[in-house]
Amino acid sequence: MPQKIFVIGATGYVGNGIALSLQSKGHGVSGLVRSERSASQLQQAGIRPVPGDVLEDLPSVLECAVVADTVIYAAQIPLDREPDVIRSLCDRLAGSGKTLIFLSGSGVLMQRTTGAWSSDSFAEEDMFVPEPLALPRVEAEGLVRAAAHHGVRSMVVRPPVIWGPGDNGPVASTYRSIATTGAACYIGTGLATYANVHSADLAELFSVALERGKAGALYHAVGGEIPFRWIAEAVARDMNVPSRSLTMDEATEVFGPFGALMQSASSRLRDANTRQELGWTPTHLDMLSMIGEPRLRALAQPSITKEK
Is 152 a domain residue?
yes
Enumerate residues 6+ apart whose C-beta is below 8 A from 260: 187, 248, 251, 252, 254
Enumerate residues 6+ apart whose C-beta is below 8 A from 126: none
Is 252 a domain residue?
no
Domain of residue 79, residue span? 4-161+196-220
Is 82 a domain residue?
yes
DSSP of 229-265, one letter per residue? HHHHHHHHHHHT--EEEE-HHHHHHHHHHHHHHHHTE
Identify the CA nearest to 170 among candidates 79, 233, 77.
Answer: 233
Lowest mean pLDDT among 33-37, 93-97, 252-256, 272-276: 33-37
Determine contact, residues 271/202, Cβ cutoff 8 Å.
no
Is 24 a domain residue?
yes
Whether 303 shows a pLDDT value over 80: the answer reads no
Please report which confidence band the pLDDT of residue 78 belongs to, taking 50, 70 and 90 as the band edges.
Answer: very high
| Res 304: pLDDT | 41
Lowest mean pLDDT among 6-10, 30-34, 300-304: 300-304
Is 55 a domain residue?
yes
For the chain, what is the domain count? 1
Is 308 a domain residue?
no
Whether 66 shows a pLDDT value over 80: the answer reads yes
Is 132 a domain residue?
yes
Please report which confidence band the pLDDT of residue 217 belongs to, taking 50, 70 and 90 as the band edges.
Answer: very high
pTM metric for this prediction: 0.95
Is 126 a domain residue?
yes
Q: What is the pLDDT of residues 120-170, one digit of tens each?
A: 999 999 999 999 999 999 999 999 999 999 999 999 999 999 999 999 999
For 216, phi then psi, to 5°, come to 85, 0
CATH of the domain at 95: 3.40.50.720
Averaged confidence pLDDT in the chain? 96
